[in-house]
Amino acid sequence: MTMLRVKDGQVSVEDSVAMSHATAGRTLREAYLDDIQKLTFGLVQVRGSSLYFGPLELLRFGPAKESRHAVEWPIEGGITARAPGGRFRIESAQGRLVASVDGYRPRLPMPLYALTQLPIHHLLMRLHLLRVRGREPAQGVAATPDDRVRAAVVDVALCITLAGLAGRRSKLHVLLGIAAAYHVACWSLSGHTLGGLVVGQRVVAVDGSRPTVGQSLVRLLAIPAAFVLDRPYHDELAGTDVIVDQGQASDP
């Protein structure tokens, strides 16, 4: 779940995922500082109380304030902030894990901020929250490796057929474009591809919600790494699972 409010040049943003158990504020603080580096593959580094991209200080936080189930940092500067002010908070409460930014003044003009920085923020926060939430309790029965392969074969065959209908020129280019659009749309709209419907499975975020477009893109781009590593790395990175669709579980 995501929310955005803008008033007098100040942005308030919220991302949240379902989480059945509460987490200590200290754990939330340590998890965020560690995770932001892993999720950006080391491109963003934590130095002191600041986030850096190479030599550039993206955001500077004040001292963290921990409570029983929350941690909060005041925003004091950095090249992405037009002025000091606002706060960044992660809280575990009422069955949800919530990351919120209030009173932040982005340096970018609001339309450009909404098209660039904001989607990146939403993606990183959602991936982080899902990692903190973890995969237990699972949101359904995991699909078997054989069924996942069968579904993939159906989906690949469909994409090849559509690429063939599109014309003879640049078939690989067309095939890759169709495959990307097809999978991202299917995963983020319903979790079902045609192959998933045939074998009775769907893709979900680890908290049971639908994957976002950003998650679906990450999952798609990480599929080659999953083949190389011979494990579902794309699901590990995107915070997703493939589960049996209970509505079709009893079908022959």
- Domain ranges within the chain, ordered by starting residue: 2-133, 145-244
pLDDT value of position 88: 98
* CATH code for the structural domain at 2-133: 3.30.530
pLDDT given for residue 247 in this prediction: 63
Report mean pLDDT in 10-residue bins for the chain, 252 residues: 85 95 94 95 95 97 96 97 96 94 96 95 97 93 95 96 78 90 96 96 96 97 94 96 75 35
**pLDDT value at position 168?**
63
Question: 3-state SS of the chain?
Answer: CEEEEEECCEEEEEEEEECCCCCCHHHHHHHHHHHHHHHCCCCEEEECCEEEECCEEEEEECCCEEECCEEEEEEEECCCECCCCCEEEEEEECCEEEEEEEEECECCCHHHHHHCHHHHHHHHHHHHHHHHHCCCCCCCCECCHHHHHHHHHHHHHHHHHHHHHCCCCCHHHHHHHHHHHHHHHHHHHCCCCHHHHHHCEEEEECCCCCCCHHHHHHHHHCHHHHHHHCCCHHHHHHCEEEEECCCCCCCC
pLDDT for residue 2: 78
Residue 43 pLDDT: 96
